[in-house]
Every structure is written in structure tokens, then in C-alpha cells.
């Protein structure tokens, strides 16, 4: 890691950390069940057999967690609102208290309205879910809108579609493969309807958090390049194109349910910012006879692509390659592809899983990604903020508690929070950026 000082980001750059409700809140008995509760009840679905029933117990310890945010000196806190909790008595009261606490700490609350914990009674395969989501967004905005300046509708609809509905390794555990495409469309429609509902409730700063992975063809062979282009379409363009251009990539609209032309006008409601979650690039080649592995996710044979190992980079303890330049590549690529249609970008997630309190590897990861991002900003890409994933070690979905992304260590037996070396490093970085 270089010892040169971190270059300065532009004045007003928003520094933050991210979390999500299901991964940290616990207090499952005080809310409706979500698809994730049902999924974790199925034996063998979560690596360590754990559930998020208690998680970090943030529901009861949010004051301690907000004090950690304040101590870090961040400008903004991205958290998510649990739809099943809002459906339950007293649920909105919790977010009321949380938002008050965050504001009192001088931190800007940035809620995400959907981070994968769909009420178990709902189903994204059904179009009506999009309309229910807009109603829910309006309820939350009605209650919190007087203190919340910025809103995020959905987190990573690509992963929720692919992992949850196409491959079945996340909740709700459907293995629909390409029949999962309506799930993507209904989430995008939900996003557009929610943007309208939030604006009608007076919200002025609205975006989405989309995951992006630069896709690298395994070789120059035409079959590898074709497979990589298709993967790029599925993971990146399927979600960015309709939002930013009002069109699906060629060939996709025909696969969506019904006539989607009118829906696309809703989906393309102008955004105030575009959130990017970046973790790693993906190497993709032509289909193989055997299943492949995408960062721990088994990709079955029989699809029109296979996922390959990226060689030549260190890996996190999840096995994900550490490629800081990929972050610059994503934001530069978005600017080049979408031009003026791309609103200002916020990096809504970036981080890594490593064990230990003296997490020098996490410091090196964040340092290198920020330097790469700075290069893109200096090159003219309009990036306005950066959020580390995550404030706390938490329930890492199908990996359970074994993968630790936090700046703050959580002992899941005692729920004691201990800031890691990366927490102190990030605090000093923020001080130097002021």
C-alpha cells in the first residue's frame, strides 16, 4: 500500500457507510416474516445454519451504532427500511427513532426501501407487487420525509433476481433461470412507481443502488467474447439501460411479461443520483459442460456462459479478486455508455470480507479503491460520494456470519462491538479530507 497521502476528493463529496435491515436489525419477533426468514428455515440454505433472528440486535442497540457512526465522522448513513417491519405494529416508530438519532448525530440518513427482505406474503413474479411497493414507499415517506433528504428505492435488483430467483442460492430460493426475467421487470417497475410516489410526497433526491461488475472475456475467442457480452447484458445493462435510456437491451423486451412499453416510461423516471455497488470484475467464457463458480455462487452448466477465475490478483476471504481499477472502470464505463443521461453517481457500496480486528487487508482494499475512484473523478466522472460496505459485521446472507465486512467487529455471542483498525483508518482519512 502506498504511503502517499490520499488525494483530496471534491468539496462536498459525501462520505458514508452502508448497512441493511435484515443483516443487522434482529428483533425478528417484532415484524412480519420475510422471504429470508422462510429461506433460512430450510436446512442447508445458509452455510453456518444461522438465521438473522438476532443478527447484530441493532433494533435494540441502534443508539450505540449511531454513536459509532458519529465517532467515525461520516456525513451520511445508508441503511434499509424493512418492509415486513413497516407492516407490523410499531415498525415505523423504530425508523422514526433511528432517523431522529442519526439526525441528532449530525449524519444524513439515506434509507433504502428494499434490500431483499420481501414480506413472505408477496412475490416479485407477480406484477401487483410493484404497486404494493409504491404504496409502502409512500407510507415511509409520509412518516420520515420531513427528516430524510435522500432516498434509495432498491438495492441490487440484479442480485436479487439472479441469486434469489434464477439460481435459488438466496431467498426466495427459486431456480427459474431465464423465467426469472419478470422478477427483474417487476422490480424495475416498482422502482419507477416508487420514484413517482416519493416525489408526490415531496422527496427531491432519489436514486437506486445497482450492482455493477466489469465483465472480462476469458479470451479473445469469439465464443468467449459473445458469452461475456451476454453476461454483461444480464448483470449490468438489463438494469441500467431501462433506467437510463427507457429501453431494454436488444432482444430483452420480447422476453418480458406483456407489452412493457408503457412500463418503461415509468421505469425511466429521471433520477437525482445513480448508486453503484462495486465489489469485483467477472471473467466470463463460453459455456462448459460442468457447473462454474461465480465468487462462491454455483452457476449451472447449460447456460449460455460460464464464469471463470480471475487470475493474478489477491483475493478476499470470500475468494473475490481485489481489483481496485474495476471501480474506476465501472464509473467511467457508465459515463461513456450513458453520457448526459447518467445523473451524478454515488458509490453506494464498496468493501470486502476479511477476518480479524487488525484488518490491514481491508485498509489496503479501501485505500486502493478510493485512489482508483479519485482517478476517475479527476478524469471528469461526476461521482459525488462513497459509502463503505459495511459499518458492522453482519448476517452475510447465504454465507451466514462467517464473512465479515464490517469496519466494526461484532462478537455474535455477546453482541459486543469493537472498532477495527479500518474504522480508525477511515476516521483519519475523513478528517484529512475535510
Active site residues: 156, 349
Q: Taking CB under 6 A as the rule, which mask of x and - marks residues 42-81 in contact with ligand IFM?
A: ----------------------------------------
To the nearest whole angstrom, how small is the minimum distance from the Cβ of residue 83 to ligand IFM?
15
Give 248 or 405: the residue with its C-beta nearer to ligand IFM.
405
To the nearest whole angstrom, how small is the minimum distance from the Cβ of residue 404 to ligand IFM?
11
* Structural contact between residues 242 and 157, judged by C-beta atoms closer than 8 angstroms: no
* Structural contact between residues 312 and 246, judged by C-beta atoms closer than 8 angstroms: no
Question: Given its phi and psi angles, is residue 415 left (phi above 0), alpha (psi -120 to 50 degrees) or beta?
Answer: left
To the nearest whole angstrom, how small is the minimum distance from the Cβ of residue 399 to ligand IFM?
8
* Structural contact between residues 238 and 309, judged by C-beta atoms closer than 8 angstroms: no
State which of positions 401-430 bind ligand IFM (CB under 6 A).
Answer: 405
Running DSSP on this structure, what letter comes out for residue 11? T
Residues with Cβ within 8 Å of residue 252, at least 6 apart in sequence: 181, 233, 238
To the nearest whole angstrom, how small is the minimum distance from the Cβ of residue 131 to ligand IFM?
25
Among 94, 389, 401, 425, binds ligand IFM (CB under 6 A): 389
Site size with ligand IFM, rule: CB under 6 A = 8
State which of positions 2-31 bind ligand IFM (CB under 6 A).
Answer: 20, 23
To the nearest whole angstrom, how small is the minimum distance from the Cβ of residue 403 to ligand IFM?
7
To the nearest whole angstrom, how small is the minimum distance from the Cβ of residue 38 to ligand IFM?
18
* Structural contact between residues 14 and 75, judged by C-beta atoms closer than 8 angstroms: yes
Residues with Cβ within 8 Å of residue 253, at least 6 apart in sequence: 247, 260, 261, 264
State which of positions 267-326 bind ligand IFM (CB under 6 A).
Answer: 277
State which of positions 151-170 bind ligand IFM (CB under 6 A).
Answer: 156
Give 85 or 143: the residue with its C-beta nearer to ligand IFM.
85
Helix (H) or strand (E) segment spanning residue 388: strand 383-389
**Residue 396 binds to ligand IFM (criterion: CB under 6 A):** yes
* Structural contact between residues 341 and 330, judged by C-beta atoms closer than 8 angstroms: no
Q: Which residue has the cell 422527496?
A: 203
Nearest to 179 by CA among 162, 195, 200, 202: 162
Q: Taking CB under 6 A as the rule, which mask of x and - marks residues 345-384 in contact with ligand IFM?
A: ----x-----------------------------------
Give 211 or 227: the residue with its C-beta nearer to ligand IFM.
211
State which of positions 112-141 bind ligand IFM (CB under 6 A).
Answer: none
Q: Which residue has the cell 435488483?
A: 157
Give 248 or 395: the residue with its C-beta nearer to ligand IFM.
395
Give 79 or 95: the residue with its C-beta nearer to ligand IFM.
79
* Structural contact between residues 260 and 289, judged by C-beta atoms closer than 8 angstroms: no
Question: Given its phi and psi angles, is residue 168 left (phi above 0), alpha (psi -120 to 50 degrees) or beta?
Answer: left
**Residue 213 binds to ligand IFM (criterion: CB under 6 A):** no
- Report in angstroms the alpha-carbon separations of 222 from 284, 288, 392: 12, 15, 44
Q: Which residue has the cell 449451472?
A: 300
Give 150 or 350: the residue with its C-beta nearer to ligand IFM.
350
Query: Distance between CA 268 and CA 193 in Å, rounded?
Result: 10
Give 20 or 332: the residue with its C-beta nearer to ligand IFM.
20
Phi, psi (rounded to 5 degrees) for 15: -105, 135
To the nearest whole angstrom, how small is the minimum distance from the Cβ of residue 389 to ligand IFM?
5
**Residue 150 binds to ligand IFM (criterion: CB under 6 A):** no
Give 151 or 248: the residue with its C-beta nearer to ligand IFM.
151
The length of the chain, given as a count of residues:
434
In the chain, DSSP finds a helix count (H) and a strand count (E) of 14, 15
Contact positions toward ligand IFM, by CB under 6 A?
20, 23, 156, 277, 349, 389, 396, 405
Amino acid at each position: 500500500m502506498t504511503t502517499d497521502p490520499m488525494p483530496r476528493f471534491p468539496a462536498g463529496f459525501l462520505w458514508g457507510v452502508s448497512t441493511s435491515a435484515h443483516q443487522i436489525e434482529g428483533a425478528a419477533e417484532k415484524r412480519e416474516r420475510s422471504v429470508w426468514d422462510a429461506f433460512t428455515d430450510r436446512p442447508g440454505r445458509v452455510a453456518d445454519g444461522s438465521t438473522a433472528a438476532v443478527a447484530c440486535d441493532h433494533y435494540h442497540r441502534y443508539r450505540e451504532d449511531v454513536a459509532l457512526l458519529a465517532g467515525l465522522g461520516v456525513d451520511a448513513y445508508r441503511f434499509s427500511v424493512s418492509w415486513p417491519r413497516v407492516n407490523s405494529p410499531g415498525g415505523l416508530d423504530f425508523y422514526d427513532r433511528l432517523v431522529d438519532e442519526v439526525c441528532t448525530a449530525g449524519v444524513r440518513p439515506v434509507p433504502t426501501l428494499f434490500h431483499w427482505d420481501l414480506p413472505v406474503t408477496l412475490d416479485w413474479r407477480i406484477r401487483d407487487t410493484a404497486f404494493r411497493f409504491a404504496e409502502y414507499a409512500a407510507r415511509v415517506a409520509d412518516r420520515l420525509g420531513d427528516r430524510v433528504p435522500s432516498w434509495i428505492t432498491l438495492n441490487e435488483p440484479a442480485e436479487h433476481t439472479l441469486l434469489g430467483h434464477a439460481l435459488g442460492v438466496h431467498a426466495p430460493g427459486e431456480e427459474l433461470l431465464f423465467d426469472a426475467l419478470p422478477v427483474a421487470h417487476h422490480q424495475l417497475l416498482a422502482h419507477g412507481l416508487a420514484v413517482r410516489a416519493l416525489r408526490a410526497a415531496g422527496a427531491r433526491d432519489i436514486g437506486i443502488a445497482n450492482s455493477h461488475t466489469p465483465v472480462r472475456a476469458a479470451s479473445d475467442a469469439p465464443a468467449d467474447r459473445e458469452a461475456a457480452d451476454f453476461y454483461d447484458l444480464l448483470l449490468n445493462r438489463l438494469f441500467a439501460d431501462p433506467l437510463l435510456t427507457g429501453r431494454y437491451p436488444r432482444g430483452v423486451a420480447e422476453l418480458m411479461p406483456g407489452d412493457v412499453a408503457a412500463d418503461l416510461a415509468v421505469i425511466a423516471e429521471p433520477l437525482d443520483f445513480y448508486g453503484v455497488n462495486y465489489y469485483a470484475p467477472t471473467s466470463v467464457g463460453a459455456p462448459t459442460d460442468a457447473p462454474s463458480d461465480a465468487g462462491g455462487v454455483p452457476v449451472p452448466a447449460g447456460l449460455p456462459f460460464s464464469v471463470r477465475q480471475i487470475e493474478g490478483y489477491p483475493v478476499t476471504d470470500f475468494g473475490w479478486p481485489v481489483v481496485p481499477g474495476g471501480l474506476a472502470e465501472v464509473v467511467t464505463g457508465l459515463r461513456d455508455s450513458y453520457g448526459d443521461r447518467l445523473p451524478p453517481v454515488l458509490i453506494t457500496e464498496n468493501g470486502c470480507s476479511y477476518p480479524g480486528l487488525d484488518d490491514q487487508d481491508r485498509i489496503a482494499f479501501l485505500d486502493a479503491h478510493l485512489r482508483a475512484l479519485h482517478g476517475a473523478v479527476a478524469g471528469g466522472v461526476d461521482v459525488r460520494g462513497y459509502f463503505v460496505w459495511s459499518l458492522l459485521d453482519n448476517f452475510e446472507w447465504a454465507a451466514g456470519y462467517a464473512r465479515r465486512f464490517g469496519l466494526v467487529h461484532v462478537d455474535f455471542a455477546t453482541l459486543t462491538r469493537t472498532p477495527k483498525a479500518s474504522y480508525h483508518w477511515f476516521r483519519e482519512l475523513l478528517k484529512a479530507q475535510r
